[in-house]
Amino acid sequence: MTRSRTALTMAAALCVAILGATGAAQTRPKLRISMIPTTDPGKMVRDGHALATYLEQETGTTVDMTIPTNYAAVVEAMISDQVDIAHFGGFTFVQASARAGAVPLVQREQDRAFHSLFITQPGSSIKSLSDLAGHSFAFGDVNSTSGHLMPEYFMRQAKVDPSVIQRALYTGGHDATALAVANGKVDAGAMDENVYANMVKAGRITDQQVKVFWTTPPFLDYVWAARKGLDPKISDAFANALLKLDAGNPAHKPMLDFLSAAKYVRAKDADYAPLRQAAKDAGLTK
């Protein structure tokens, strides 16, 4: 009888513990995160698992991470209140800020002085922007800062033949642009400097397939931003989690590698004024 009572007591205690844990999990707020697809979205989702787990631990939330197939979808998701925090490029942040009141949180230190690379085949006669006339060209996503907006801005400044821009192919992503050039689908293209470096490191492209023939001046680019009205405790916890990432900590390496980052810093809305003007000059915003 005593043993039976003891077993029942232990079973009851176990049930209470399980129900308590379940209840705690159910009360954790959901944090909906999205990222623009700078490379293959499916691969980004898989590679981002460690980051999602880390953010859950740091923010006390249940993270739901989504990466759509195009940049515009991330902006629309924030406008329609379907995402809480998003990783934008500079131009998509400008759009989300204007249309949804997105609030900048943090950015990689390198995003304060980012560059686009202009690439072509090693044997090409293209040596400078002035040589692009008469050649086929590729941008990434139409809403990409480093894959379209700023490359086009600098091309117009250099008075590149307008037909090169008008007839340009839009590949949808930086990796797709690199492969289009490497495979000879187009003569030249513009892309994100980090994606280029990562593709070379991974052996996806080689110096026998592509070469960089011009690098843009620096400009402001990627940023994590929160939707207007998000609980400040959650947005602050998210920002602090990324600010805590340390390149010297082996446990942080998977996240930093995924984010192509070494260090995060606070982001300021006012710093995006030049990018807002560039978008307006290109006729992409009012």
User: In the chain, what are the domains?
Assistant: 9-112+220-273 (3.40.190.10), 115-215 (3.40.190.10)
Is 90 exceeded by the pLDDT of residue 121? Answer: yes
Is 80 exceeded by the pLDDT of residue 85? Answer: yes
The mean per-residue pLDDT over the stretch 229-252 comes to 97
DSSP β-ladder status, 223-226 and 85-88? antiparallel
Q: Output the average pLDDT for the chain.
A: 91
Residue 280: its pLDDT value, please? Answer: 84
Residue 12: its pLDDT value, please? Answer: 42
What is the C-alpha separation between 211 and 123, in angstroms, rounded? 9
Dihedral, 145, 146, 147, 150 alpha carbons, nearest 10: 70
What is the C-alpha separation between 34 and 17, in angstroms, rounded? 34
Say what the pTM is: 0.82
If one compares 278 and 203, the residue with the highest pLDDT of the two is 203
Q: Hey, what are 26's tokens?
A: 């159910």
